[in-house]
């Protein structure tokens, strides 16, 4: 028996348990340390805009790969990178996690305008990404040139004019705000799309 009242084998068992505990804690600390070291790099990679999308008001060619709903799509950029894109200035009724009135119609309309493989042009505003890491863009259905009519060529504008979305302003991304505000007012006055739904 030792000075603490433990017998020899019991003391030996306690030492083994203590050593095993130290080893487990060391391994956990090592794993957590490596994860913490990688986290900032992963976050930075997700928050950095694509190289072609750095300059404000730049137009970048892209290819539609998937339509999520009335205001969110997936595209492939020229460098091969895949991006989730949130349309600037509008908010379509939900149709993914929630089922809001006219959400199915809005999603279907965007899907009709943007079949997989369609070429589009992305125009950015002041900010390249939103807080969820999505690329922010005005999505053009044809290459924007001098004299291009945004009412019929910019998807964000088309959806507002046809009543498939509402205006949603998030400063500082307000480059086309005057046009978008005008188109919503016209759709509302005409009762187009969601503005023609019965008031509950």
Choose the catalytic residue: 83, 124, 129, 134. 134
Q: How far apart are the first and last CA of the chain?
A: 83
State the DSSP code for 46.
H
Catalytic status, residue 99: no
SS3 103: helix
Read off the tokens for 34: 């490596």
Instruction: Give the largest Cα separation in the chain, rounded.
Output: 96
Choose the catalytic residue: 94, 100, 105, 186. 94
| Alpha carbon separation from 93 to 9, 29, 112, 133, 155 (Å, rounded) | 70, 45, 17, 21, 16
Residue 166 phi/psi, 5° resolution? -110, 160
Q: How far apart are CA 7 and CA 30, in angstroms?
A: 35
Catalytic status, residue 105: no
Catalytic status, residue 145: no
Q: How far apart are CA 87 and CA 70, in angstroms?
A: 9
State the DSSP code for 82.
E
For the annotated catalytic residues, the residue numbers are 86, 94, 134
């Amino acid at each position: 028996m030792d000075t603490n009242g433990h017998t020899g084998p019991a003391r030996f068992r306690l030492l083994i348990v203590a050593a095993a505990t130290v080893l487990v804690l060391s391994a956990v600390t090592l794993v957590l340390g490596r994860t913490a070291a990688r986290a900032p790099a992963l976050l930075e990679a997700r928050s950095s805009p694509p190289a072609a999308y750095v300059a404000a008001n730049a137009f970048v060619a892209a290819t539609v790969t998937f339509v999520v709903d009335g205001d969110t799509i997936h595209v492939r950029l020229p460098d091969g990178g895949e991006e989730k894109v949130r349309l600037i200035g509008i908010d379509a009724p939900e149709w993914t996690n929630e089922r809001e009135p006219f959400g199915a119609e809005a999603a279907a309309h965007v899907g009709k305008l943007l079949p997989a493989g369609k070429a589009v042009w992305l125009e950015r505003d002041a900010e390249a990404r939103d807080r969820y890491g999505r690329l922010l863009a005005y999505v053009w259905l044809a290459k924007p040139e001098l004299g291009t009519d945004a009412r019929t060529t910019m998807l964000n504008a088309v959806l507002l004019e046809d009543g498939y979305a509402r205006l949603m302003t998030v400063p500082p991304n307000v480059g086309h705000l005057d046009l978008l505000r005008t188109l919503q007012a016209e759709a509302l006055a005409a009762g187009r799309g969601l503005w023609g739904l019965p008031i509950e």
